[in-house]
């Protein structure tokens, strides 16, 4: 998914804040990190990631990655090793600059992350972001190359701070015969795991992975369960007859 415009940063980057939650990182059956002093760090304006103080990362699980050693770099890269389990280059220790003394652990390289006793997926949630799903009676039409793909008077609009509004539509109001399931899945810490469809017209025109939906969304977005959202940037979207830009 792409953005209609860049989000407005609340602060200059990188930005570092203390995190009040207990954070644990599980790898190879052991918690390589268990701390109440984690840092939320915004390297990009879209969302934060976790960084840790050097003392919060158990040194016995780190082995310097010699392939990455370069004097001009402001960081050192380490492999994370627990028994026979190895995550190559998964840890980065900053040795200079604004992040000096902090360690980044690649989220996807670990087995699981926890805030308190709740598992965290993809990345920590942004404390400055909110997601609202609102039922509407406005008419929404989705058109691709002159072919109407969807037409509904019962959309749900999803508003996510700093991102483009997304429209979720009941499948019964869509031309499902023009949608073909794909193997792609993506994850969102706010909405959950998304599945995708291609849009395929009889003339062979297609928008690959141009439609997504959530079978079992997270509780805060439960209202979009089973509804489909279209890749507006590649389609014509009309709301109450007005073409959206």
Query: pLDDT per residue over 16-67, tens digit each?
Result: 999 999 999 999 999 999 999 999 999 988 889 999 999 999 889 999 876 6
For residue 159, give the nearest of 121, 117, 191, 131 by alpha carbon: 131
Query: Does residue 226 come out as left (phi exceeding 0), alpha (psi in the -120 to 50 range) or beta?
Result: left
Distance from chain centroid for Cα 69: 30
Could you give the 3-state DSSP secondary structure of residue 133? strand
Q: Can you tell me the mean pLDDT for 148-173?
A: 94
Rg of the chain taking only CA atoms, in angstroms: 22
**pLDDT for res 2:** 35
- Alpha-carbon span 216 to 202, nearest angstrom: 31
Using CA atoms of 61, 66, 71, 77 in order, give the dihedral in degrees to the nearest 10.
Answer: -40
Q: In this structure, what token pair is assigned to residue 83?
A: 């028994």
**pLDDT for res 51:** 96
More confident position, 1 or 89: 89
Count of Cβ atoms closer than 10 Å to residue 143 Cβ:
15
Helix and strand tally (H, E) in the chain?
A: 0, 22
Count of Cβ atoms closer than 10 Å to residue 229 Cβ:
22
pLDDT band with cut points at 50, 70 and 90 for residue 4:
very low
- Alpha-carbon span 67 to 228, nearest angstrom: 45
- pLDDT of 5 strictly over 80: no
Q: Can you tell me the mean pLDDT for 220-227?
A: 95
pLDDT band with cut points at 50, 70 and 90 for residue 3:
very low
For the chain, list the domains and their CATH numbers: 15-120 (2.170.150.40), 131-243 (2.170.150.40)
pLDDT band with cut points at 50, 70 and 90 for residue 70:
low
* Residue 64 CB partners (closer than 8 Å, separation 6+): 76, 77, 78, 79
DSSP state of 46: S
The single residue listed with the structure tokens 């940063």 is: 9
């Amino acid at each position: 998914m792409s953005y209609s415009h860049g989000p407005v940063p609340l602060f200059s980057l990188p930005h570092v804040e203390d995190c009040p939650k207990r954070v644990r990182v599980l790898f190879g059956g052991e918690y390589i990190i268990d701390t109440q002093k984690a840092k939320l760090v915004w390297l990009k304006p879209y969302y934060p990631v976790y960084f840790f103080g050097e003392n919060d990362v158990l040194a016995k699980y780190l082995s310097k990655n010699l392939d990455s050693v370069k004097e001009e770099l402001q960081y050192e890269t380490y492999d994370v090793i627990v028994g026979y389990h190895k995550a190559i280059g998964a840890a980065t220790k900053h040795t200079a600059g604004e992040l000096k003394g902090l360690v980044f652990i690649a989220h996807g390289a670990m087995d699981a992350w926890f805030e308190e006793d709740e598992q965290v997926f993809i990345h920590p949630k942004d404390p400055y972001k909110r997601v609202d799903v609102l039922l509407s009676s406005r008419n929404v039409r989705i058109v691709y190359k002159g072919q109407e793909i969807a037409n509904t008077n019962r959309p749900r609009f999803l508003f996510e701070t700093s991102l483009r509004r997304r429209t979720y539509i009941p499948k019964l109001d869509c031309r499902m015969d023009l949608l073909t399931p794909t193997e792609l899945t993506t994850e969102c810490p706010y909405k959950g795991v998304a599945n995708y469809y291609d849009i395929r017209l009889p003339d062979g025109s297609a928008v690959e992975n141009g439609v997504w939906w959530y079978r079992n969304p997270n509780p805060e977005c439960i209202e979009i369960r089973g509804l489909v959202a279209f890749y507006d940037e590649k389609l014509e979207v009309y709301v109450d007859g007005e073409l959206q830009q």
